[in-house]
């Protein structure tokens, strides 16, 4: 296999070549899912940014189209940056995006509309002459002024959007209002802000239903709901969120009591997942999240392979019944790619035991497993000096080969037989006074023999807020050559790693389940599937 294909994904979304970043303007329109994304048509590094465009009937099989929005006017001459779609009354889609108008990176907000609403794919987009819609007023930082959200309708009949900005070191989501979607005015007070978080990129603001089975359009602002405020923090490159209440009278978002806002906050994903965007899918009454995973390799390696970046498998978003966090899960359509299947049940793993999952293509697989354990008595103490917010640091000390009490146990993905290369995804349970602390790790530190000094191979990790009374923990991993996307405890903690094995590739990759804790664990059930390639037209 040549260098261009060695780490290409089998079932994730990526273009044939070149650089991609943020997912843009995802929407469902007349039976078709649209995905736009930031794309460099000229190379595998960031630059020359246009909105590439693909369409699908099921979020899995795609048809590639020509770029929908590209620099062509004075209001977007230097780049067409991120933005969102809104379906206006009368079933009329409109896109809002950030245009770069000069070499100083000055940002404005523009709109684009389909040239022909009867084209089922909405291939051609028009940027009307009354653009730009919004320019920064004097009090706003015009180079930190971007990424408009999907609009929602207030009770006063006015549309609102928020966009990312900052004032000095304070991260801000600016709020704008409009009666006609053309004339926009800034609401004096921002929708939300947090000191010391730096620039906010790609904010997302939407309702989730409380105890409901149906998710909601972005314009649902009242009822048995909570609101989610997501921000992408440029300084750490993670997507953080809080749950809270949208005070529609004051046009202000207020996080729930006890929510941590900023660096130590909840994350959609504890790994390589950034600039995500959600949309409401009216066909299945669900909210779907798209996120981007950048490469973790050296830039010159990206250039050599001729491509950089993938879109992760779209995930549904629902509120955890505990009301304190979200649950993310791969869309059900992914299961249509499941091919050959192997199962394992009631398999006990003593300390130091490892069992190979044979019979599936381990480099391109979907694995679901439930582990159980007899007791928590042997859980290691959680030291009071450890940082309750820094799971990653703990994981970097307590790796999969460091023996423990209850755990580490989990999966070993993209492994060679002698474990020269491997990416383990695992749990480890600690006891902290009368509580238990569950650590989940996706550890890339030994994923590749090609590692040179200074490569980025983090031991991504999170703490899982899960009830252990039934003494069970579940894990799902989507393994796809250079991507390992994992979901702990039904989506309470998600971790995505990008890895670049040199030996554990294609048929030489192996998959194992393991236990390195003194407490024996049982694989209650494990199902693994080889994953087929989706159909992508215009390859
Ligand atoms: C986030 C981001 C956005 C911007 C776009 C440019 O990754 O920096 O803030 O609109 O990428 O490509």
From the alpha carbon of 146, which atom of ligand 1 is closest? 10
User: What pLDDT, on a 0 to 100 scale, did the predictor assign at position 529?
Assistant: 99
**Candidate of 38, 46, 290 to mutate for ligand 1, largest count of ligand atoms within 8 Å of Cβ:** 38
By DSSP bridging, strand 310-311 and strand 145-146 are unpaired
Span from the CA of 443 to the centroid of ligand 1 (angstroms): 27
Residue 434 pLDDT greater than 90, yes or no: no
Buried b (16+ CB within 10 A) or exposed e, 3-27: eeeebbbbbbbbbeebbbbbbbbbb
**Candidate of 18, 19, 20, 22 to mutate for ligand 1, largest count of ligand atoms within 8 Å of Cβ:** 22
Span from the CA of 349 to the centroid of ligand 1 (angstroms): 46
From the alpha carbon of 201, which atom of ligand 1 is closest? 9
User: What pLDDT, on a 0 to 100 scale, did the predictor assign at position 452?
Assistant: 79
Share of the chain above pLDDT 90, in %: 97
From the alpha carbon of 83, which atom of ligand 1 is closest? 10
pTM score, whole prediction: 0.98
CA angle 298, 299, 301 (to 5 degrees): 70
From the alpha carbon of 82, which atom of ligand 1 is closest? 10
Span from the CA of 22 to the centroid of ligand 1 (angstroms): 7
**Candidate of 201, 294, 295 to mutate for ligand 1, largest count of ligand atoms within 8 Å of Cβ:** 201
**Cα end-to-end span (Å), the chain:** 19
By DSSP bridging, strand 307-308 and strand 18-29 are parallel
| CB 297 within 8 Å of CB 272 | no
Helix (H, G, I), strand (E, B) or coil at 65: strand
pLDDT tens-digit readout, 213-239: 899 999 999 999 999 999 999 999 999
DSSP summary character for residue 404: B
Span from the CA of 383 to the centroid of ligand 1 (angstroms): 39
Q: What residue owns the CA closest to ligand 1's atom 9?
A: 201
Alpha carbon distance 294, 291 (integer Å): 10
3-state secondary structure 455-503: CCCCEEEEEECCCCCCCEEEEEEEEECCEEEEEECCCCEEEEEECCCCC
Instruction: Give the CB-side neighbour count of residue 379, counting CA atoms within 13 A.
Output: 23
By DSSP bridging, strand 62-69 and strand 536-537 are parallel
From the alpha carbon of 81, which atom of ligand 1 is closest? 10
pLDDT tens-digit readout, 74-86: 999 999 999 999 9
Q: What residue owns the CA closest to ligand 1's atom 6?
A: 81
22 is catalytic: yes
User: What pLDDT, on a 0 to 100 scale, did the predictor assign at position 162?
Assistant: 98
Span from the CA of 339 to the centroid of ligand 1 (angstroms): 36
Distances (CA, A) of 52 to 15, 49, 307: 9, 9, 14
Span from the CA of 147 to the centroid of ligand 1 (angstroms): 7
Query: Residues in the chain, how many?
Result: 539
| CB 415 within 8 Å of CB 515 | no
Catalytic residue among 22, 217, 251, 281: 22
Look over the chain and give the mean of its residue pLDDT values, rounded to a whole number: 97
From the alpha carbon of 164, which atom of ligand 1 is closest? 9
With bands split at pLDDT 50, 70 and 90, how would you rate the model's confidence at 536?
very high
From the alpha carbon of 274, which atom of ligand 1 is closest? 7
Q: What residue owns the CA closest to ligand 1's atom 8?
A: 201
- Residue (of 142, 138, 288) closest to 215 by Cα position: 288
Radius of gyration of the chain (CA): 23
Span from the CA of 46 to the centroid of ligand 1 (angstroms): 10
Helix (H, G, I), strand (E, B) or coil at 506: helix
pLDDT tens-digit readout, 346-400: 999 999 999 999 999 999 999 999 999 999 999 999 999 999 999 999 999 999 9
From the alpha carbon of 98, which atom of ligand 1 is closest? 10
Of 141-145, 361-365, 455-459, 483-487, minimum mean pLDDT range: 455-459
Helix (H, G, I), strand (E, B) or coil at 158: coil
**Candidate of 23, 39, 82, 239 to mutate for ligand 1, largest count of ligand atoms within 8 Å of Cβ:** 82
Alpha carbon distance 224, 16 (integer Å): 44
Q: Residue 530: beta bridge partners?
A: 365
Span from the CA of 82 to the centroid of ligand 1 (angstroms): 6
Helix (H, G, I), strand (E, B) or coil at 391: helix
**Candidate of 25, 36, 40, 81 to mutate for ligand 1, largest count of ligand atoms within 8 Å of Cβ:** 81
Alpha carbon distance 505, 509 (integer Å): 5
Alpha carbon distance 190, 203 (integer Å): 12
Q: Give the list of residues 6+ apart from residue 188 with CB closer than 8 angstroms, or none.
A: none
Which tokens hold the place of 139?
């009090």
Q: Where does ligand 1 bind, in terms of residues with CB under 6 Å? A: 21-22, 38, 49, 81-82, 98, 146-147, 201-202, 275
With bands split at pLDDT 50, 70 and 90, how would you rate the model's confidence at 453?
confident
Share of the chain above pLDDT 70, in %: 100
Sole residue written with tokens 């199902």: 527
Alpha carbon distance 374, 471 (integer Å): 7
Residue 539 pLDDT greater than 70, yes or no: no
Domains and CATH numbers, the chain: 18-332 (2.115.10.20), 338-531 (2.60.120.560)
Residue 336 pLDDT greater than 70, yes or no: yes
Span from the CA of 275 to the centroid of ligand 1 (angstroms): 7
pLDDT tens-digit readout, 493-532: 999 999 999 999 999 999 999 999 999 999 999 999 999 9
With bands split at pLDDT 50, 70 and 90, how would you rate the model's confidence at 175?
very high
pLDDT mean over 15-44: 98
Helices (H) and strands (E) in the chain, counts: 2, 40
With bands split at pLDDT 50, 70 and 90, how would you rate the model's confidence at 454?
confident
Span from the CA of 232 to the centroid of ligand 1 (angstroms): 10
Q: What residue owns the CA closest to ligand 1's atom 12?
A: 81
| CB 79 within 8 Å of CB 68 | no
With 0-12 CB in 10 A as exposed, 13-18 as middle and 19+ as buried, what is 77? middle
CB neighbourhood size of 129 (10 A): 7
């Amino acid at each position: 296999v040549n260098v261009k294909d060695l780490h290409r994904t089998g079932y994730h979304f990526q273009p044939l070549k070149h650089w991609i970043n943020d997912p843009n303007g995802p929407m469902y329109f007349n039976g078709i899912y649209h995905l736009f994304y930031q794309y460099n048509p000229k190379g595998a590094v960031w630059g020359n940014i246009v909105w590439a465009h693909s369409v699908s009937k099921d979020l899995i099989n795609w048809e590639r189209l020509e770029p929908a929005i590209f620099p062509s006017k004075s209001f977007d001459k230097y780049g067409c940056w991120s933005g969102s779609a809104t379906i206006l009354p009368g079933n009329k889609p409109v896109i809002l995006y950030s245009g770069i108008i000069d070499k100083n990176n000055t940002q404005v907000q523009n709109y684009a509309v389909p040239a022909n609403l009867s084209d089922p794919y909405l291939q051609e987009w028009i940027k009307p002459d009354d653009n730009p819609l919004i320019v920064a007023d004097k009090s706003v930082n015009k180079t930190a002024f971007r990424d408009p959200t999907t609009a929602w309708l207030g009770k006063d009949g006015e549309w609102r959007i928020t966009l990312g900005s900052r004032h000095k070191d304070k991260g801000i989501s600016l709020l704008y209002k409009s009666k006609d979607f053309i004339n926009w005015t800034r609401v004096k007070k921002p929708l939300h802000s947090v000191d010391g978080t730096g620039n906010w990129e790609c904010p997302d603001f939407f309702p989730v239903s409380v105890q409901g089975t149906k998710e909601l359009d972005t314009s649902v602002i009242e009822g048995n709901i909570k609101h989610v405020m997501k921000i992408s923090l440029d300084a750490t490159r993670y997507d953080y969120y809080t749950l809270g209440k949208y005070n529609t009278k004051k046009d202000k978002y207020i996080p729930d009591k006890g929510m941590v806002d900023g660096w130590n906050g909840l994350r959609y994903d504890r790994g390589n997942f950034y600039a995500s965007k959600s949309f409401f899918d009216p066909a299945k009454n669900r909210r779907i999240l798209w996120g981007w995973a950048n490469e973790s390799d050296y830039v010159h390696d990206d250039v050599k392979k001729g491509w950089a970046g993938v879109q992760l498998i779209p995930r549904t978003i629902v509120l955890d019944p505990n009301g304190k966090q979200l649950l993310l899960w791969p869309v059900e359509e992914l299961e249509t790619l499941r091919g050959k299947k192997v199962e394992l049940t009631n398999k006990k793993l003593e300390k130091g035991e490892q069992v190979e999952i044979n019979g599936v293509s381990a480099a391109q697989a979907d694995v679901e497993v439930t582990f159980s354990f007899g007791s928590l008595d042997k859980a290691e103490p959680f030291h009071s000096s450890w940082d309750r917010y820094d799971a990653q640091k703990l994981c970097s000390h307590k790796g999969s080969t460091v023996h423990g009490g209850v755990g580490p146990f989990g999966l070993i993905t993209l492994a060679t037989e002698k474990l020269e290369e491997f990416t383990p995804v695992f749990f480890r349970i600690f006891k902290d006074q009368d509580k238990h602390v569950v650590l989940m790790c996706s550890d890339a530190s030994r994923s590749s023999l090609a590692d040179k000094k200074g490569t980025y191979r983090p031991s991504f990790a999170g703490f899982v807020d899960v009830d252990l009374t039934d003494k069970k923990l579940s894990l799902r991993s989507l393994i796809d050559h250079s991507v390992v996307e994992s979901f702990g405890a039904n989506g309470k903690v998600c971790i995505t790693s990008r890895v670049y094995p040199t030996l554990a590739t294609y048929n030489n990759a192996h998959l194992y389940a393991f236990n390195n804790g003194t407490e024996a664990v049982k694989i209650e059930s494990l199902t693994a599937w080889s994953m087929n390639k989706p159909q992508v037209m215009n390859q």
